[in-house]
Structure 1
Amino acid sequence: MGLSIDGLSSGLDTTSLINSLMAVEAVPQNLVKNKAAAVLTRISALQGLNTAVADLASKAGKLADPKGLELYSASSSSAKVTSTVSAGAKPGAVDFTVSQLAQTQVSVSKNLAVWPYTTMTVTGEGGQAITVTPLTSSLDDVVSAVNLSGAGIVASKVSVGGGEYRLQFASSMTGVAGGFTIADPDGTAGLTKVQSAQDAQIKLWAGIPGVETTLSSSTDTFADVLSGVSISVSEVSATTTRVTVARDNAQISKAASDLVGSVNGVFAQISTKTAVVVSTNAAGAPITSGGIFTGDSTIRQVNAAILSAASQPVDGKSPAEFGISLTKTGTMEFDATKFGDALAKDPAGTMAAVATIAGRVADAAKQASDPTAGLLSTKIKGQQSAAKDFTEQIADWDDRLEMRRTTLQRTYSALEVALSGMKAQSSWLSSQLAGLSGSSSS
């Protein structure tokens, strides 16, 4: 603000006068600031819409893939067997029994006060040997050294009562591949294997000569016994378990419903920001104000393209025949019952129709949201350019207004100096006149 010069000679509140003049001078800049704020608001709204449309393009694109609706679920006849479906699953079934579960190797020492050797050599099932050198022979140091060695085993100090301890060594992973040996040259450590490393095993078509097949896994999970299906077991059982994979109509229906929901999500954003609001001013007169997208031809074009893609016929059939219909308000509606009936009657035709609609929606959404040439992306870039221009204008006005304030401060400062000089001269003349008047009286 600079040095205060209020009332040095004139008694005027010059700071307030300058601020008032600057408020008038700043009116054009405030108009630019208001325009800049409106552009930034529009950019934010456009970016939000663009994100929603890009997300719609991604989701619709996945359903447009011929395999996008090949959704399956697996069921098991045993509560002790679970199954997980992934990409590539196909309808089918398989019968098996569980002959053994995967387990780790566990070896235990005899009661020890200290480790009897200065080093420990651990050899894995593959023949790789690792030498572990504890800081001291104390059991705690041995446990720490083993667990930090990367030897593939976990050491623990176990209290067995009476102040005595044993060391337990367990492989860090299940399965035969996790097996190990620990060197005990003279048997002083007294190592005993209390549990052997073991793979899980299931038998397919158990008990049928010439067909029975045994599968092994280092864990209790068997991958791709059926294409795209993982089977996990948790109990040994000679009773046959059947895992069945079938088309999951509920998932397919949800996928179609989610597509319609994503389309409506875009429409909702556009509708909310296009709505015209009627309010009243302080005098009670009605005021009509449009939304940020009101009157925007680009937004109308995007909305129309997506709506057309979602509602146009498929091979001469209305999407309504598959439970996807256009409402009076210009949005889409999904009828799960009607879709389910169509899927049951003609699975291939219904899924193909959804894929076609999804493909059209994906194309329309991509044309709007493509980062390089999309309608919304191009509009955002234009608005960002305008915002940059307004920012530069505001900065120019900041410099101009600062120079204007400095000029006014100098002008009023000079005025105060001039008034001060005039007052001094007036006082001198008054004293001179007073002196002349006194001399004349004498």
Structure 2
Amino acid sequence: MATAIDGLASGLNTTAIINSLMSVEALPQTQLKTKLASNQTIISTLQSFNTKLTALKGVASGNAAAGALNLFTATSSSPSVTAKTTTAAVGGSIDLTVTQLAQTQVNVTAAMTSWPTDGAGAPARLTIVDSTGKKTEIAPASTSLDDVVSAINAASGGALAVKVPAGNGTYRLQLTAAASGAAGAFTAYQGTSAQVTAGTAVDLMADPSAAVVKSAQDAKATLYAGTPAAQVLTSGTNTFADVLPGVSVTASAVSTGPVTITVASDVPGITKKAEELVKSVNDVLGFIAIYTAVSQTTDAKGATVPKAGIFTGNSTVRAVNDQVLASLSRPINGKSPAEYGINITKDGDFTFDAEKFSKALAADPAGAQAAVQGLAVRVADAATAAADPYSGSVSGLIKGRESEVRDLGNRIADWDQRLITRRATLQAVYTNMEVMLGGLQSQSAWLSGQISSLSKQSTGE
């Protein structure tokens, strides 16, 4: 690159001149940079818009799912019995009496210092027999009780073991069923599976100092106790499934009398879901309104002029607004959404009257739920059409702008190289000018000296 020589011969500030000329040369690139920044702002705004549309799609799709609004609450007349519902529940009540809680079997062996050996001097085998009669034969690595515990736990034979201190350097093996309830029942023997079958194995609980701490038992509850229709329910845990359709009951204590379980429609829960749908729609419509609004700004002369919003005049955004608005405002199942407390305002958004919706839900639960689900389906479709990553209209806008940003970036980079070349050319031109002017000035000084010398000779000086 040539080096600028400021004013060496001309006295001019050539660097300032070159910088001024380069500012003019760079105007096209400056315009590209301005356009790039504008596009980046638009992309950022569109991405935020797409995020809101995706959130709307999630809320609407959740409400549109089968049974999503089939919400119920279950109450119990006793704190020791609780109930939970699913969307398969129906309203109603039932009385049950909890007569027994589930237990997980726990056995402890006699105290010992090490595991016994068999007739050949090897560690004796263990066999665990589960409630189905399946036999699991276990071969400890040594007579160490730690090895016995490890072997039992690795065998997955229906019981887990732990070594418990019994005093004076002795230990007991505590065997706990892997499953609760009667299904987890087991017996443990010292001996092989064949010996168990032959009846020659030793039951570890036969020792007088061994004990069954807890026996395996199912939880039991009785429906319609004291009537000819009495029905006993059993469970390996303390939870009874499907006592009513979609209703499970969990007991923490035996009840002294019948406990009433009441299942009713969850009006507050359903109302909240409907309100969330309206709120999410308003969130999208409000975002569009903010970035479509025309504001006032001041120009270079100090005059007040209108300033268009980022979405002003964007037909795609306008179409999304109209689709989302229509999805919640059009009649559903022959009725206006206003009958369910969903009202459109003059500002182009919605209000939700929770009290009116609750009354409509109480008067016709199935109809109100079907209406909200129908609205949710339409809203979800509108949001999907806009925000789908592959075919969504807003997603398409973002991709188009991103492509333009990449092109602008390439063009700006090209201009960087052009401007570098142009600056070098201007520096070379002005440097050469200074060198030539310097040469001319030297010649001028020499000629002036020669002329002055001639003048003295002609006058005889």
1:275 maps onto 2:287 in alignment = no
Contact 2:68–2:87 (Cα < 8 Å) also in 1: no
1:438 match: none
2:225 counterpart residue number:
206
Match among 155, 159, 163 for residue 153 of structure 1: 159
Structure with greater Cα Rg = 2
Matched, 1:367 2:385: yes
8 Å contact kept, 1:202–1:216 = yes
SS in 2 for 1:170: strand
Q: Cα distance 1:415–1:138, how it changes in 2: closer, same or farther (>3 A)?
A: farther
- After superposition, the C-alpha distances for 1:3-50 in whole angstroms (9 at most, x for unaligned) are 98878x889998887666555443322322222222222223223222
Once the 2 structures are TM-superposed, how far is the Cα of residue 257 of structure 1 from its aligned partner?
1.0
Matches within 5 A, 1:394-405: 394-405=412-423
Q: Distance in 2 between matches of 1:177 and 1:411?
A: 98
Indicate yes or no: 2:275 matched with 1:252: no
- Residue aligning to 1:439: none
| Per-residue deviation, 1:335 | 0.8
Match of 1:165 in 2: 171
Query: 1:66·1:352 contact (CA, 8 Å) conserved in 2?
Result: no
Contact in 1 for aligned 2:296/2:305 (Cα 8 Å): yes
Matches within 5 A, 1:182-201: 182-185=188-191, 190=207, 191-201=210-220
CA distance in 2, matches of 1:415, 1:141: 97
1:194 deviation in Å? 1.8
- Rounded Cα–Cα distance in structure 1 between residues aligned with 2:264 and 2:100: 28
C-alpha distance in structure 2 between counterparts of 1:100 and 1:173, whole Å: 17
Give the root-mean-square deviation of aligned CA atoms: 3.9
Matched residues in 2 for 1:387 and 1:96: separation? 69
Paired residue secondary structure (1:42) = helix
Using structure 2 for the length normalisation, give the TM-score: 0.78
Contact 2:80–2:255 (CA<8 Å) still a contact in 1? no
Return 322-331 or 376-385, whichever deviates more. Answer: 376-385
Match runs of 1:54-203 below 5 Å: 54-64=54-64, 67-117=67-117, 118=123, 120-125=125-130, 126=132, 127-134=134-141, 136-185=142-191, 190=207, 191-203=210-222
Cα distance 1:180–1:317, how it changes in 2: closer, same or farther (>3 A)?
closer
Question: Quick one: percent identity of the two aligned structures?
Answer: 45
Distance 1:25 1:243, change over 3 A: same
1:105–1:171 contact (8 Å) kept in structure 2: yes
Q: Do structure 1's residue 216 and structure 2's residue 244 form an aligned pair?
A: no
Q: In the alignment, is the contact (CA less than 8 A) between 1:157 and 1:165 conserved in 2?
A: yes
CA distance in 2, matches of 1:308, 1:196: 65
SS at match of 2:69: coil
1:241-390 paired onto structure 2 within 5 Å: 241-280=259-298, 285-286=303-304, 288-314=306-332, 317-390=335-408
Distance 1:149 1:188, change over 3 A: closer
Distance 1:408 1:203, change over 3 A: farther
For the residues of structure 1 that align with 2:273 and 2:410, how far apart are their CA atoms? 48
Given that 2:67 and 2:87 are in contact with CA atoms closer than 8 Å, whether structure 1 keeps it comes out as no
Q: Give the match's secondary structure for 2:383.
A: helix
User: Are residues 37 and 152 of structure 1, via their aligned partners in 2, closer, same or farther at CA, if it must alter by over 3 Å?
Assistant: farther
Q: Quote the offset at 1:374 in angstroms.
A: 3.2
In the superposition, the TM-score normalised over structure 1's length comes to 0.81
Q: Secondary structure at the match of 1:88?
A: coil
Equivalent residue, structure 1, for 2:194: none
CA contact (8 A) 1:156 1:167 kept: yes
Q: Corresponding residue for 2:243?
A: 225
CA deviations over 1:337-373 (Å, ceiling 9, x no partner): 1222222233343334333433333333333334444
Deviations 1:51-106 (A, max 9, x none): 32233234334434674432222222221112221132222333222222222221
Q: Is the 8 A contact 1:200 1:217 kept in 2?
A: yes
CA 1:192–1:73: 2 relative to 1, 3 Å: same
CA contact (8 A) 1:122 1:180 kept: no
> How far is 1:412 from its partner?
7.2
Q: Which segments of 5 or more consecutive residues in structure 1 lack a partner in the other structure?
A: 434-442
Distance 1:408 1:284, change over 3 A: closer
Determine helix, strand or coil for the equivalent of 1:237.
coil
Give the SS at the match of 1:358: helix
Aligned match of 1:48: 48
- The one-letter code sitting in structure 1 at the alignment partner of 2:86 is S
**Distance verdict in 2 for CA 1:391–1:287, change over 3 Å:** same
1:122 Cα deviation from its structure 2 partner: 4.6
Residues 93/132 of structure 1: CA separation in 2 closer, same or farther (3 Å cut): farther
Structure 1 residue matching 2:257: 3-state secondary structure? strand
Cα separation, partners in 2 of 1:157 and 1:25, compared to 1, 3 Å:
farther
Residues 217-269 of structure 1 deviation map (CA, whole Å, 9 limit, x = unaligned): 22222222222222211112252122222222122211211111111111122
Distance 2:138 2:13 in 1: 89
The CA distance in 2 between the partners of 1:301 and 1:226, in whole Å, is: 48
Q: Is the 8 A contact 2:71 2:86 kept in 1?
A: no
How many pairs align?
A: 430
Amino acid at match of 2:238: D
Over 3 Å counting, the alpha-carbon distance change for 1:188 and 1:39 in structure 2 is same
Amino acid of the structure 1 residue aligned with 2:114: V
| SS of 1:183 mapped into structure 2 | strand
CA 1:81–1:23 in structure 2 vs 1: closer, same or farther (change >3 Å)?
farther
CA distance in 2, matches of 1:152, 1:19: 87
Q: Give the 3 Å change call, closer, same or farther, for CA 12–236 of structure 1 in structure 2.
A: farther
1:118-164 Cα shifts (integer Å, max 9, x gaps): 36535251414152534x54334444444444444332232344554
Q: Secondary structure of 1:235's partner?
A: coil
